[in-house]
Amino acid sequence: MSDSSRVPAGRPTRVQLLVTCLVDHFAPDTAEAVVRVLQQQGLEVVVPPDQTCCGQPACNAGARPDAIAMAKHTIALLERDPAPIVVPSGSCTDMLVHQAPALLADDPAWAARASAVAARTYEFTQLLVDVLGVTSVPCDRTGTLAYHACCHGLRGVGIDAQPRQLLAHVPGATVLPLPEDDTCCGFGGLFAVKLPDISGAMLDRKCRQITASGADTIVVTDVSCAMHMQGGLHRQGRPVRVQHIAEILGGMA
C-alpha cells in the first residue's frame, strides 16, 4: 500500500500546510513543530488561508452531503497554490487522498479536481522520508519513546516505516517496542462518543500495553489518537505522554 508512486519528480522547495482543525484548535504546537522541521530542511512553508475542516468526521459518520461540502471547500482552497500539500495527520491525509475522490466520483469535474489535489498531498513523515529523502532530523530529544501506528495512517496511507525510521535516528532517545502497536486505540472519531463503552474497552487495553512498554512517551502521527490515548492515561493516573512525531523531531520538551 506504499504510495511511493506519488513521489514528485523534483525536490520541492515550497509546501503548503493543511493544519487540520484538530491540530489548529488543540495542538497548535504540533503545527509550529511541523513548520520548524520543514524549514530546517530548507522548505518554504505557506499556510493557505480559509482552512476549516476537510470533512473526515462527516465522511466517517456516513453524512455524505456534509462530507462532500467540506471536502470541496478544502480542495478549492488548496488548488490556489500548485505546491505539494503536507498534512500532520494520517486520517486527514486519507480523507484527501482516498475518501474525497471516492465521495466525488459521480461528479466528473470535481472528481478530477479532487484527484489532482490528492496526487500532491502527503502526510508529514511521508513528505520527509518518501519525498525529501530525509530519515534523520537533528533534534535534542531524550528519554524513552515507543511508536503507536495510527490506523488511517498505517492502513489508509501506508505510513509505518517512515516514522519508525525517523524515530530510530533521534540521537538522544531510546525507542522501546509497544506490544500490539498496530491495534486501534479505540478512537474512531464519533465512534468514541457514540459507542463509548466499546471504545473505552479498546482504550483500556491500549493503556495496559502502553504501561507494559515502559516508555515515557508514546509517539503518534495523529493528534486525534493522541488526545484519545492521553485522555485515557490521564484518567487512569498513568504518567505517560502521547506526542505527535513532529514535536519530537522539532525538539519540543
Binding site for other proteins (CB under 8 A): 19, 21, 23-28, 31-32, 47, 49-53, 55, 57-64, 66, 69-70, 73, 102, 151-152, 154-156, 182-184, 186-205, 227-228, 230-232, 234-235
Q: How far is the CB of 27 from other proteins (least distance, A)?
A: 7
Nearer to other proteins, 71 or 170 (CB): 71
Q: How far apart are CA 148 and CA 163, in angstroms?
A: 10
Nearer to other proteins, 59 or 220 (CB): 59
Cell of 218: 508514546
Nearer to other proteins, 168 or 198 (CB): 198
Q: How far is the CB of 49 from other proteins (least distance, A)?
A: 7
Q: Report the first-to-last Cα separation within the chain, whole angstroms.
A: 33
Q: How far is the CB of 110 from other proteins (least distance, A)?
A: 14
Q: How far apart are CA 155 and CA 142, in angstroms?
A: 29
Nearer to other proteins, 69 or 112 (CB): 69
Q: How far is the CB of 66 from other proteins (least distance, A)?
A: 4
β-partners of residue 121 are 85
The amino acid at 153: G
Nearer to other proteins, 173 or 184 (CB): 184
Q: How far apart are CA 69 and CA 78, in angstroms?
A: 15
Nearer to other proteins, 192 or 245 (CB): 192
Q: Which of 38, 52, 42, 153 is nearest to 85 (CA)?
A: 38
CA quadruple 181, 184, 186, 190: dihedral positive or negative?
A: positive
C-alpha dist (Å) from residue 13 to 3, 8, 33, 70, 145: 21, 12, 18, 29, 31
DSSP 8-class letter at 188? T
Q: How far is the CB of 226 from other proteins (least distance, A)?
A: 9
Q: How far apart are CA 232 and CA 23, in angstroms?
A: 19
Q: How far is the CB of 174 from other proteins (least distance, A)?
A: 27
CB-CB contact of 131 with 122 (8 Å): yes
